[in-house]
Amino acid sequence: MENPIRWTTVWVVASWYGSNIGILLLNKYLLTGFGFKYPVFLTLCHMVACASLSYVAIGLARVVPLQAIKSRSQLGRLAALSVVFCYSVVCGNVSLRYIPVSFNQAIGATTPFFTAVFAYLMIQKREAWATYAALVPVVVGVVIASGAEPSFHLLGFIMCVVATAARAFKSVLQSILLSSDQGENLNSMNLLLYMAPIAVAFLVPATMLMEKDALEFTIDIAKKDLKIVWYLLFNSSLAYFVNLTNFLVTQHTSALTLQVLGNAKGAVAVVVSILIFKNPISFIGMLGYAITIFGVVLYGEVKKRYS
């Protein structure tokens, strides 16, 4: 009876890696190599797919039980999370237009630093001094990597930092808004089911205002080459499967295993992106990224010891 469970876990983890790394690389290709310069519209496509596939998975296939929204205040909290979520994804996509995936992942690895900062500022959550000390190499590594990055771009760097901070802010905000004692907690799949349509409602006017020629451009390209349609459909579907596989990995592994896998995933994404896009790298830059990863691992170990 052990083998089916073991192989299911392997398949789930492999799918999680594939969807996470796949969407990152495909986003980069669309926004640079393919010339699709519409990160807000791309995010809108992602959210439309997440809304549609969430309904299929929960409303029709019953992958997980449907959890109802129980109050107007809960809906308001979901709307707030959706705005922050959209902002983080859009900024992340904008950053990929200007900086390589490897540098993007190095900056993204600083999420624990921003999470600790927001947790302190928003809920006065204090960690042990050793926990904060473990965050020093996380930041130092990115500083080193930034200074030695051959493809450094200021706007791309800023957008990536903002996206990383927004993801951390969302995680803290989510713990505050949805960890109530009123039975209003939602699992991640139901959370996406409700957040995605709200995100679409925000992104439609944002796209019309900021990228009003995006749809016309896509239609014109599609008339000449249908590949853009298939790229967008596959890319948008991957956006949903990132969330689905993350939920499944959480179910099939422990929190510690998930943390270790997450750290390794960033390193794998860096190696794969360098092999595919062949962006220039430097020894100092890779050393900086290695220091950041070391800091993230150290932070996890120290936090586990003092929690």
Provide long-range contacts, Cβ within 8 A and 24+ apart, for 121-126.
Answer: 122/172, 122/173, 122/176, 123/172, 123/176
CB 97 within 8 A of CB 151: no
- Take residue 56 and report the two structure tokens written for it: 């299929």
Q: Quote the pLDDT of residue 50.
A: 96
pLDDT at 205: 96
Tokens of 34: 């393919």
- What local confidence, expressed as pLDDT, does residue 177 receive? 73
How far from 17 is each of 109, 264, 269, 276, 285, CA to CA, in Å?
16, 10, 9, 16, 24
Query: Would you call 18 exposed, middle or buried from its count of C-beta atoms within 10 A (0-12, 13-18, 19+)?
Result: middle
Handedness of CA 238, 161, 29, 289 (dihedral sign): negative
Spatial distance between the Cα atoms of 293 and 140, rounded to a whole number of angstroms: 11
pLDDT of residue 2: 47
Output the CA torsion sign for 177, 179, 184, 186. positive
Token representation of residue 185: 């907690």
C-alpha dist (Å) from residue 267 to 23, 167, 272: 15, 19, 9
What is the spatial distance between Cα 12 and Cα 20, in angstroms, rounded to a whole number?
12
Q: In the numeric block, which tokens belong to residue 92? A: 């992340």
Predicted pLDDT at 262: 74
**3-state secondary structure labels for all residues of the chain:** CHHHHHHHHHHHHHHHHHHHHHHHHHHHHHHHHCCCCCHHHHHHHHHHHHHHHHHHHHHHCCCCCCCCCCCHHHHHHHHHHHHHHHHHHHHHHHHHCCCCHHHHHHHHCCHHHHHHHHHHHHHCCCCCHHHHHHCHHHHHHHHHHHHCCCCCCHHHHHHHHHHHHHHHHHHHHHHHHCCCCCCCCCCHHHHHHHHHHHHHHHHHHHHHHHCCCHHHHHHHHHHHCCHHHHHHHHHHHHHHHHHHHHHHHHHHCCHHHHHHHHHHHHHHHHHHHHHHHCCCCCHHHHHHHHHHHHHHHHHHHHHHHHC
Q: Which residues in the chain show pLDDT less than 50?
A: 1-4
Q: Residue ranges per domain, the chain?
A: 2-306
